[in-house]
Structure 1
């Protein structure tokens, strides 16, 4: 979890009590400008991922601190993103139909790395000759985007989960689920009125894997030491 020191020094509001936030302008120059990278907020034991849903699914998830209910299907693929701004691009800052509620889902790092260990890009699936029903995690490296939807050279990770992996994600690996929709809408208002330099976003750094074989398998790019940002979590 975020420490009290981090929360007091960076997040001066109570908008997101369990998430460290910081001005976008203070972070953007620390991020790699190109390549395939995982940007996320994390600590020693957990990592935050984002999803956007309709109100019914979101309310059940927040109330029960797990996914389920009559409108959520464990039989369909469900996509998660580690990068807040990538989620904003996909959901239109919580403006798209059935994506009006944005959830910050904190899961265990062990669970997240199990997801990555089971992830297949389309190219990897083809090279191993696997049918779609054998794939529990679909990985896509899509162009990242700025707060105003400009396409960037950097690639953002998107992970589609189904089957047993989705069930574990939605129940066993959940640490907490928070509805951050009000924060999202407030930052969109600031973006429209004052521009991207004034918005705040969850503080994100590079997430690296100790298991280099997984990094190589999913195509995660390394960063030159002199260019590497402070890829720390918030414990």
Structure 2
């Protein structure tokens, strides 16, 4: 397997990396068959079975999604891996209206509590994962959409939904066969994403 240690030191501790173009950015979610089939049929999430009242977490990192869902084999509620293309303007709105999910040294607890209550989006940074789903030194962003953010996501931001479960299974199958180079070549290409509202 390729040594990524030199890359880890060159990547900022917190950096958004994603597949994107001039108009859209790709995020990932994992759901049950029922929610996935309805979303694919309608081109967006529909309620029911999707629950609009719950916070929904979107992840630009394919490998972090694989870690969370175990390549689609972890449990039935996460067996379908969906790639969702959303407008970059919507993604930027989410970042602009986001609050860190946990207070850190950059903000007082009182200030953080007020911000959290006022804003509909949560920002969380978790260790990025490599091809073997081992934690890296740098972090990947997760974005939790609540309140009006969920409605905007479902009704306005989503432009396309694709089922990438077969891709996840294909990569996992190559890993089982220890064909790491071939597995790595199938990974979606992600690159640093610049945002005016990037919370470092």
Query: TM class, shorter-chain normalised?
Result: 0.7 to 0.9
Q: 1:125 to 1:117 in 2, by over 3 A?
A: farther
Matched, 1:142 2:126: yes
Q: Show the counterpart of 1:120.
A: 99
Q: Show the counterpart of 1:227.
A: none
Offset, 1:145: 1.2
SS at match of 1:159: strand
Q: Show the counterpart of 2:41.
A: 63
Pairs within 5 Å for 1:14-93: 32-93=10-71
CA distance in 2, matches of 1:172, 1:86: 25
Matched, 1:162 2:162: no
8 Å contact from structure 1 (residues 79, 161) kept in 2: yes
SS at match of 2:29: strand
Q: 1:198 to 1:28 in 2, by over 3 A?
A: farther
What TM-score do the two structures reach when normalised by structure 2? 0.87
Instruction: Give the number of aligned pairs.
Output: 190
CA distance in 1, matches of 2:188, 2:124: 22
Unpaired stretches in structure 1, ≥5 consecutive residues: 1-23, 220-235
Q: Show the counterpart of 1:176.
A: 160
8 Å contact from structure 1 (residues 85, 146) kept in 2: yes
Offset, 1:125: 8.0
Q: Choose which of 167, 178, 188 in structure 1 pairs with 2:172.
A: 188
SS at match of 1:120: strand
Offset, 1:151: 1.1
Pairs within 5 Å for 1:203-222: 203-209=189-195, 211=196, 214-215=197-198, 218-219=199-200
Render the CA deviation track for 1:97-143: whole Å, top value 9, x for unaligned: 11000000000000000000011112258334417543311111111
8 Å contact from structure 1 (residues 34, 153) kept in 2: no
CA distance in 2, matches of 1:81, 1:58: 16
Q: Choose which of 96, 101, 105 in structure 1 pairs with 2:84.
A: 105
Unpaired stretches in structure 2, ≥5 consecutive residues: none
SS at match of 2:85: strand
